[in-house]
Structure formats: structure tokens, C-alpha cells
Amino acid sequence: MQKFDDNKNIRTYKDRTVLVRLLKYAKRVRWAFIISLLFTAILVAIDLTPAYLEGELIGVLGNADLTNDYKIKFTIILLSIYGCVIIGAAFLNYFNSMLLQKAGQRIVLEIRKEVFVKIEGLAIAQIYATPVGKLVTRVTSDVNMVNELYTNVIVNLIRYILTILFVFIMMLIISPILTLYILCVIPFLVIMTIVFNKLSRKQYRKVRGCVSNMNAFLSENLSGMKITQIFNQEDKKEKEFLLRNTDLKRNSIREVLIFGVFRPAIYVLYVLCHIILLYNGFYMVLEERLLAKDLVKFYQYNGQFFNPIQQLADQFNQLQSAFASSERIFEILDMKAQILDKEDAIELTQIEGKIEFDHVWFAYNEENWILKDVSFTIYPKQTVAFVGATGAGKTTILALIVRNYEIQKGTIRIDGIDVKDIALESLRKHIGQMLQDVFLFSGTIRSNITLRDDSFTTDEIVEACRYVNASSFIEKLPNGYEYEVLERGNNFSSGQRQLLSFARTILHKPNIMILDEATANIDTETEVLIQDSLEKMMNVGTMLIVAHRLSTVQHADNIIVLHKGKIMESGNHQELLAKKGLYYHLYELQYKHMDS
């Protein structure tokens, strides 16, 4: 079973592979990026004008041959031109930002949708193998980091690279000799950048892994807070949280340390270049090999040359984070679902409800067999119950019918068709499941019963609820069917949640119904309502029941008794009691316990 190990520090994909895949998403909005690139080039050119204008202004003001009136007029005209350029640049920058944000959000929308749909398509076993918090991190936090890549990082990288290129050209035009001094520092910059890139990438993976582990811990422990408080485990959980929190802090500090060493090192090179520039430039001006105004321009451009290099460190920071998040997203997108439809999968429009297990063997883990050579046949409209001790394989049989897992040996057939040949959506559409742990979504009672399918009418919803006796409590609630359901249905009792589950199933009109411990842990009054509902539902279609309470299955057409993955005996209630076998023993134990 593949798991997502956020503590590993192994490169899953090469940078080039990640970048190519990310750019494929950008193709969908390529015109937005092309226009943005054009805008960026214009903005970079505008950024270079202040240094040039400043140099020209100093040249005019320092020229003794020009009158003061001319100097004043020249200064006013120059500042007016510069002001207009800056205002134009502000508007251009706004439109460029909006263009990128819209394009980035479109891409992120698609990526987030792909990840969610991919998770939906994974087998239950694959989803259970990963904590929910880690999956949530991939859909939210990691995708948001990719959004930063499209809306900020890529464009800023291009902007800073263009700035360095344009500035270098201007410096070369002004003074090739001084530019040559600057070039001597470039090899040191390249070496520092390569080292920084290697170290930061490694550390970012650790930080993202820590964030994922933190989210997984929070998701699990917030859901189980009731148990934590009941058993007074707050101090223990606080210590466990502190370990994860400290681990995140430690790796975040290391991340900052790497960045904190790189940027000052760049600044040292910048200061060194300034010293070399001023020393050599001063003598060149004295020797009249360079004009003073050109030295001012060169000095300003030198600052503009190193500033984007320093900013590139910030962008590398975000780039590494985005690449690390992208790898984690691609791990999900590249994960092969264990249960897939065949290319020629059959679409069932209607089923009768006949179920056959033909020498079925199944194990969750390798050769640890849960079911061993199980064979039985259930006929349409028949009610069949599975009983046996915990771990006998009862719930597993129900899970295999809807293909939550794939069997290793044997065949399972619905109406004579191998379930592997039936399209998953088509198969599950005709099967309704009512489980012991009923899951209710945040919303209203109506939305939970219909599962937000607006095709159902109010009359159909009310009829389904009355059929299973759920209306007995729904209609007493404020707002009735529009009553708000809290997270996981915590404002309802176990029995009420179960009745809502029954109503949900009946409304969708399944041909096969599965009840897995649906009557466990409910009060006696609600059990009466549920038993009445079950008797009605037995007339709807084929029904499979798993229950420890034998009173629930006494009216079943057939009772299959399981023990350690094998069928020990089968028959109706009276026949099994007459055999005085395992079922009789279970019945006797249960009712002796009740009598005592």
C-alpha cells in the first residue's frame, strides 16, 4: 500500500520534470503570460530611466556654460516627463498584476479540482493509508504555494533577470572597463547561488513535511477531542503537539538561517563592487576618460544590478517551496488507483439483486486471509444476514460487494455478471449502504438526505422519511427538513442519525441494501422504530444484514454463520437453532447475558 511519507527527504521528481508539468497548466492561459511578459519588459525599461535622468540632470546642473533659466526649464521638463512615466507605470503594473492573478487563479482552480477528483477515485484502502490532514494539506496549502509560483515567482524571476540583463547592457555602453570589474564578481555569485539552491531545496521539503504532519495531527486530535478529555489525556496530547511544533520551528529556523547567510553574502559582494567602482571611477573622471554624469549613472546602475540579485534570493525561497509542494501534488496525481473500471465496463441500467460469491479468498495484507474459500448465493428480494464473532469477515463481505477492495481469488457476481466487469459508478448506484457509523455532512437535513441532489422533490423526501419513521423526530424540529446539521451530525442521537441514513437510502431507490451493524448502540425506543423500518425495507429489494443483535436477523430468509473467514452453517433462524451448532451457541450466550 502506497503511503505519503512526509518525513522522507528524497527527491521524487527532477526540477526540469516539475517545471515542464507546471508549464503545461500555463498553456491554458498562455496569452495572459505572453502579455504579462511584454508588460514586464516595459516596466523594467521604465525602472532604468531614473538613473539615466539623474545622471543627465547632474550633467546639466554642473555645466557652467548653461544659464540658470535653461537649467530650471530643463529640470522642470525632465521631472514632468519622469512623473508621467511613473504614473503610466503604476497603471501598467496594476493591469499586469490583475492579469496574472486571474490567470493564476484559473490554473489553481484546475489543479485543486484535479487533486480532489483524483483522491475521490482512489480506493478506500489507499485513502485510509494516509491521514486526512495530509491529504487536506495537499489540496489546500500545497496548491496555494503553486498559486504563488504562477502569480508572483515566475514573473518576478523574469523581471529580475531582464533587469540584470538591461542594466548590464547600459553599464557596458557607459563604461566597458568598469563593467569588466563587475564581471569579476559574477563567478562568486554563481557558486553561492548553486550552493544556496541545493541547501534550500532540501530544507524546504523538510518544512513542508513538518506542516503536513502538523495538519494530520490536528485533524485527528480535534476530531477525537472528546476521547482526549474523557480519559484526561490533555497533557499527553500537549506534549505530542509540542514535539511536532518544535520540529516545525527547528526546521523553519534552519530554513531562515540558509536564507540569512545567502543574502548578506550577496550584500558583501555588492559593497565590494561599490568600493572598486568608486575607486576606479574617481581616477577615470580625473583623467577625463569618463564624465562625472556617467559615473553617477554607472553608480546607480550598479545598485540596480545587485538589487535584483538579492531579490532573486527571495524568489528562490518561494521557488523551492513551490517545487516541493508541486512534487507532493504530483505524487497524488501520479498515484495509480487500485480499483479501476475496465475499458469495456458494463453500465447497468437495472439489476434484479442476485449476488453470488464463488470460492472467494480475500486478504487485506498479503497472505493474512480474512475470507477463505467463501461461496454462497443470495436471490433477488431475499433478506440474508451474516453473523459471527468479531473478525469473522462479515463486514468484509459487504465491502467486497461494492468493490471497496479487490479479491485475490474467486469471483463475485451480480445478476450473473462479474463485479469487475461492471462500471463502479453503475454498480454502486444500485446499492444502498447503511453503516453503524453514520456520516452526516454540514448543511440541512434535506441536503443530507438528498446528498445535495436537487432532482428530488419535497414530497419524495417526506415520503422516504415517513417510510422509515424518520419523520417522527424531523417534523418536531424547528424548520423541519431545513434544520441545520452540525459537523458529523453531533446534534443528533445515534438512532436519529441512523434513521436519516435509512431515509437517504430509500430515497435513492437501491436494488440492493446493505446494513452493517445499523442497530448497534441505539436506545430501545429508537430500536423499535428501526425494526419497523427494517421490516418495510425488506420489501424494497435484496437486503444484506450484519448484526450482533440476533433479534435483528431472526426474520431473515437466510442466516450465514461465519467463523474465522469460513462459512460454518446457514439456514433460517429456526433451522439453525435446531442444528444446535455455532449459531445456537451465539444465541444462547446472547440471551443468557440479557437474562442476567
Q: Which residue has the higher pLDDT, 527 or 547?
A: 547
Q: What is the pLDDT of residue 521?
A: 56
Residues 6+ apart with CB under 8 A from 165: none
Q: What is the pLDDT of residue 558?
A: 93
Give CA–CA dist 198/28, Å, rounded. 31
Residue 174 pLDDT > 50: yes
**3-class DSSP assignment, residue 118:** helix
Q: What is the pLDDT of residue 415?
A: 93
Q: 3-state secondary structure string, 79-99?
A: HHHHHHHHHHHHHHHHHHHHH
Residue range 469-503, pLDDT digits in tens: 888 889 888 888 999 988 778 888 888 888 888 88
* Mean pLDDT (whole number) for 325-342: 86
According to DSSP, residue 153 is labeled: I
Of 283-297, 319-333, 345-359, which one has max mean pLDDT?
345-359
Q: What is the pLDDT of residue 349?
A: 85
Residue 505 pLDDT > 80: yes
Q: What is the pLDDT of residue 596?
A: 47
Instruction: Say which range, 271-280, 354-363, 386-395, has the weakest mean pLDDT.
Output: 271-280
pLDDT class of 544 with cuts at 50, 70, 90: very high
Compute the Cα dihedral for 244, 8, 311, 273 and give only its sign.
positive
Query: What phi and psi values does residue 309 have, to the nearest 5 degrees?
Result: -65, -40
- Segment 30-34 long-range contacts (CB within 8 Å, at least 24 positions apart): 32/99, 32/100, 32/102, 32/103, 33/100, 33/103, 33/154
Q: What is the pLDDT of residue 493?
A: 82
Give CA–CA dist 540/383, Å, rounded. 10
* Mean pLDDT (whole number) for 335-346: 86
Burial 121-134 (b: 16+ CB within 10 A, else e): ebbeebeeebbebb
Q: What is the pLDDT of residue 5?
A: 53
Q: Which residue has the higher pLDDT, 79 or 64?
A: 79
Residue 347 pLDDT > 80: yes
* Mean pLDDT (whole number) for 53-74: 74
Compute the Cα dihedral for 131, 136, 142, 143 and give only its sign.
positive
Residue 454 pLDDT > 90: no
Q: What is the pLDDT of residue 416?
A: 92
Place of cell 486571474: 102
**Of the candidates 426, 378, 430, 412, which has an alpha carbon nearest to the alpha carbon of residue 570?**
378
Give CA–CA dist 466/451, Å, rounded. 18
Query: What phi and psi values does residue 518 have, to the nearest 5 degrees?
Result: -70, -15
Structure pTM?
0.71
Report whether 304 contacts 163 (CB < 8 A).
yes
Residues 6+ apart with CB under 8 A from 118: 332, 333, 335
* Mean pLDDT (whole number) for 550-564: 87
Give CA–CA dist 58/45, Å, rounded. 21
Residue range 69-126, pLDDT digits in tens: 877 887 888 788 888 888 888 898 899 888 888 888 888 889 899 988 888 888 887 8
Residue 585 pLDDT > 50: yes
* Mean pLDDT (whole number) for 43-64: 76
* Mean pLDDT (whole number) for 523-531: 66
pLDDT class of 400 with cuts at 50, 70, 90: very high
Q: What is the pLDDT of residue 1?
A: 47
Q: What is the pLDDT of residue 6?
A: 55
Among residues of the chain, what percentage have pLDDT more than 70? 92
Helices 234-286 and 186-223, axial angle in degrees (round to 10) = 160
Residue 217 pLDDT > 70: yes
Give CA–CA dist 53/32, Å, rounded. 32
Beta bridge partners of residue 470, listed in sequence order: none
Q: Which three cell numbers stand for residue 432?
A: 444502498
pLDDT class of 4 with cuts at 50, 70, 90: low
Report whether 374 contacts 393 (CB < 8 A).
yes
Give CA–CA dist 26/104, Å, rounded. 8
Burial 492-523 (b: 16+ CB within 10 A, else e): bebbbbbbbbbbbbbbbebbbbbbbbbbbebe
Residue 313 pLDDT > 70: no
Taking residue 569's Cβ as centre, other Cβ atoms within 10 Å add up to 16
Residue 379 pLDDT > 80: yes
Q: Which residue has the higher pLDDT, 441 or 386?
A: 386
* Mean pLDDT score across all residues of the chain: 83
pLDDT class of 384 with cuts at 50, 70, 90: very high
